[in-house]
Amino acid sequence: NAGVTQTPKFRILKIGQSMTLQCTQDMNHNYMYWYRQDPGMGLKLIYYSVGAGITDKGEVPNGYNVSRSTTEDFPLRLELAAPSQTSVYFCASSYSAGIDTQYFGPGTRLTVL
Amino acid sequence: KQEVTQIPAALSVPEGENLVLNCSFTDSAIYNLQWFRQDPGKGLTSLLLIQSSQREQTSGRLNASLDKSSGRSTLYIAASQPGDSATYLCAVPDYGGATNKLIFGTGTLLAVQP
């Protein structure tokens, strides 16, 4: 199993550009999550999904969109990049809620200039 | 709203020392608490998950304890090694855990000096 994979690893965007961060898991997990990690701030949940076709907002959803058309993929879309979106983005997945640990991808480091 | 705090923010110890990392949470109605390790430039790796009904979990040189009533958890690392150097984060599920949305602490950066 590759686990949770994310692409790209690094990206520099100009203000106003758009991009999609890709996330794929091969563990047949129902739950998937997007977090951002700012220096010294811990991780904050952006969006999550409890299954294909079902998504919901987390703590910091503004400026982002997601979709979940398959169990494996959970892309995160930035429509109009802003400097405040400079961060490290982590995708995670888990089989269920409540008692199951989350498995994290290696992250995407995004800089918006 | 659940808040998770980790103290200290950074810790430096000589190799071989036993050490304790602390995690506090404001809402004691949690399903579980997890400890993660994060190496520089990498994702998070789950170390230990303690269910709300448990008091502690052990994995090798790591021992995590949970005291729900006081809103505290500790991660004990025995006989520390330079390879233990990393950031350690604790996390609890939000809203009791129905969706497994995690609330993270800000982490403790551990440096073990050879």
Task: Tell me what percent of the residues of chain A surpass a pLDDT of 90.
Answer: 84
Minimal Cβ distance to A90: which of B9, B43, B93: B43
Whether the CB of A101 is below 8 Å from some CB of chain B: the reply is yes
- A to B CB pairs, distance under 8 Å: 71
**What tens digit of pLDDT does each residue of A14-68 get?**
999 999 999 999 999 999 999 999 987 789 999 999 999 999 998 899 999 999 9
- Alpha-carbon distance A61 to B96, whole Å? 21
Which residue is closest to B52 within chain A, CA to CA?
A: A99
Sheet holding A19-25, edge to edge: A4-7, A19-25, A76-78, A64-66
Integer CA distances (angstroms), A96 to A103, B43, B49, in order: 12, 20, 14
Note the pLDDT of residue A59.
Answer: 87
Which pLDDT band holds residue A95 (cuts at 50, 70, 90)?
Answer: confident
CA of A24 to nearest chain B CA: how many angstroms apart? 14
| A22 contacts chain B (CB < 8 A) | no
